[in-house]
Amino acid sequence: MTFVITQGCCDDASCVSVCPVQCIRPRPGDPDFKTTEQLYIDPATCIDCGACMDECPVNAIYPEWDLPDQHSEFLEINSDYFAMNPNAVCSPPQSPTRSLPAERPSLSVAVVGTGPAGCYAATELSDINGVTVSIFDRLPTPFGLVRSGVAPDHAATKQITKRFNGLFSRPNVQAYLNVEVGRDINVSELLEHHHAVIWAVGASDDRKLGITGEDLPGCVSAREFVAWYNGHPDAVDHRYDLESKRVVVIGNGNVAVDVARLLARPVGSLARTDAADHAIEAFRASAVEEVVVTARRGPESAAYTTGEMVGLRHVDGVQLAVHEDEVNDAVASSPLVARTVGRIFQPATSGQDRTITFRYGLTPCAINGDERVRSVTFRRPDGTNEEIETGLVIRAIGFRGRRVDGLPFDERAGVVPNVAGSVHDPETGEPVVGVYCTGWIKRGATGVIGTNKVDSAETIGSLLSDFAAGRLPTPVGGQDILAALLHERKPDLVDGEGWQRIDRAERKAGRKARRPRQKLVTIAELLAASRRE
Ligand code: NAP
């Protein structure tokens, strides 16, 4: 008997350190850890103890005997990894014990951004004796993309917030939500009150296609669309044309898969999630019959992960389709692709009401229309063009970071330039003293939630070694002065207790409708809930 890791794996490797026989691969430090789609359990070594299942923050691990039907393929997916990587070299697991040097017993750090990267960093830092942490977010709510990016029908993935929530009751952590660093206070002011600042703001801009018609009404970014259905306050007033029978999604990463699934799945199942009420109403009235997900390369280069696609195949009311001529070559040349394609695209079943069609080898060249989008022209590998009619085009081609005043920025990569998380000025090659970064703003928009745990550990390693070597000046202002300054500038800032009040209000409202929570979606509603009770 073995345990099995399934679709929702967050990759944060919590399970790895508790496994008594070290049968979970890849581990942090292994060559493929940073690129793996998920972690895998070796059925030949697993001793069936269940420690990994208890530790998994997203409930993605099951005993073989209790594997839900929709995850049945994952038994084979786990064992396939070991069949295909017989020589996987594993380095010893990394579990550094952190402490401050005896001659410098207290350290204060500001973490800007409360998405997964910021929360992992703040958690690891506040575990260390003598460290105090201030956490900042421009919204009144924490958790970044876990709240406003992870799809509402991936409830298990959102369970990670239960762990992160512990931060808000730690005595050495002070939360300043609804405070925008760069507007309400700047980085150099934060450095007057802390030894170091960790920039963990994610990637809040989109990659651009750079083709005609990209700015027409009806051509939107997946980032905005996802924010809208997840109730992000910035997206409350957005409107999308769901009257079109066909939607075209450009790109085939996991964000494209999320967007396609949300557009295609029957609304009844969404009504039990924490999707924003305005989105549920719009999906209920939707006329969409087909979502076409387009990739410029073949299935062998697809950016989606197998786990997400297998999950997609099990969504009731959704039919997956493919044009055989677009996958045949890849299937013939690679047994691995053949297996993945075979797993995903099963024969049609009757009675399905919406189709997601996966197209390959289509490079977008123009978005056509006069006042709004009418169609997209793609170039095929043989040099011919194909025009696909649609009223809504969603660009899911990836995210990039945004520049902020006072920090260097790499425009090409869309990240803050850094060496192992220590921010460096590319013009001088010197470190920016006391400033660090982690997450998507550090490495670009790649990886899943747990990837940020290892990433943040690296940044904290750099910060602690600078602190131990005396390279971080002692802050001139104390925490009390900072708190007074922020309350004066932002009387409506939300602290940890304020967030707990919002959280309770949303969960209480959700309980009546048997939903995990009913999100408050405007800043005014959120601030009111943060004060009430
Ligand atoms: P992504 O994985 O980088 O995929 C981007 C897609 O856009 C690729 O298919 C890419 O094609 C395509 N693309 C880029 N430029 C293009 C262009 N000019 N024209 C046409 N296509 C273009 O990005 P993402 O989907 O936004 O995901 C970001 C990260 O979040 C990923 O690491 C993803 O796994 C993660 N994520 C995970 C989950 C989950 O685990 N459930 C959910 C959402 C997001 P090429 O490959 O040809 O460049």
First to last CA, the chain: 50
Please name which of 268, 262, 264, 256 lies closest in space to residue 295, comparing C-alpha atoms: 256
Q: What local confidence, expressed as pLDDT, does residue 161 receive?
A: 92
Q: What local confidence, expressed as pLDDT, does residue 89 receive?
A: 52
- 25 forms bridges with which residues in the sheet? 40
- 291 forms bridges with which residues in the sheet? 247, 356
Rounded distance, CA 385 to CA 388, Å? 10
Q: What are the strands of the beta sheet with 290-294, ordered from one edge? A: 219-221, 392-395, 246-250, 290-294, 354-359, 318-322
The CATH label, of 3.30.70.20, 3.30.565.10, 1.10.3080.10, 3.40.1160.10, for the domain at 3-84 is 3.30.70.20
**Ligand 1 atom 7: the closest Cα is on which residue?**
397
Q: What local confidence, expressed as pLDDT, does residue 532 receive?
A: 65
Rg (CA), the chain: 24
Q: What local confidence, expressed as pLDDT, does residue 347 receive?
A: 64
Mutate to test the pocket of ligand 1, among 212, 296, 315 (most ligand atoms within 8 A of CB): 296
**pLDDT tens per residue, range 279-314:** 999 999 999 999 999 999 999 999 998 888 888 888
Instruction: Please report, for the chain, the start and end positions of each structural domain, with discontinuous segments joined by +.
Output: 3-84, 107-204+400-493, 210-397
The ligand 1 atom nearest the CA atom of 157: 41
**Ligand 1 atom 2: the closest Cα is on which residue?**
253
> pTM of the prediction?
0.89
The CATH homologous superfamily of the domain defined by 210-397: FAD/NAD(P)-binding domain (3.50.50.60)
What is the Å distance from ligand 1's center to 160 Cα?
22
Mutate to test the pocket of ligand 1, among 58, 255, 448 (most ligand atoms within 8 A of CB): 255
Q: Are 427 and 452 in contact (CB under 8 A)?
A: no
- 388 forms bridges with which residues in the sheet? 376
Query: What number does CATH give the domain 107-204+400-493?
Result: 3.40.50.720
What is the Å distance from ligand 1's center to 413 Cα?
15
Name every protein residue with a CB atom under 6 angstroms from any ligand 1 atom. 207, 209, 250-256, 258, 295-297, 301, 303, 308, 364, 396-399, 445-448
Residue 106: burial class (beta carbons within 10 Å; 0-12, 13-18, 19+):
exposed
Q: What local confidence, expressed as pLDDT, does residue 92 receive?
A: 46
Q: What local confidence, expressed as pLDDT, does residue 440 receive?
A: 97
Rounded distance, CA 435 to CA 420, Å? 12
Rounded distance, CA 321 to CA 47, Å? 40
What is the Å distance from ligand 1's center to 303 Cα?
6
Q: What local confidence, expressed as pLDDT, does residue 216 receive?
A: 97
Positions in the chain short of pLDDT 70: 87-96, 346-352, 532-533
What is the Å distance from ligand 1's center to 157 Cα?
19
Report the half-sphere exposure of 437 (CA within 13 A, side-chain side). Answer: 25
What is the Å distance from ligand 1's center to 254 Cα?
6
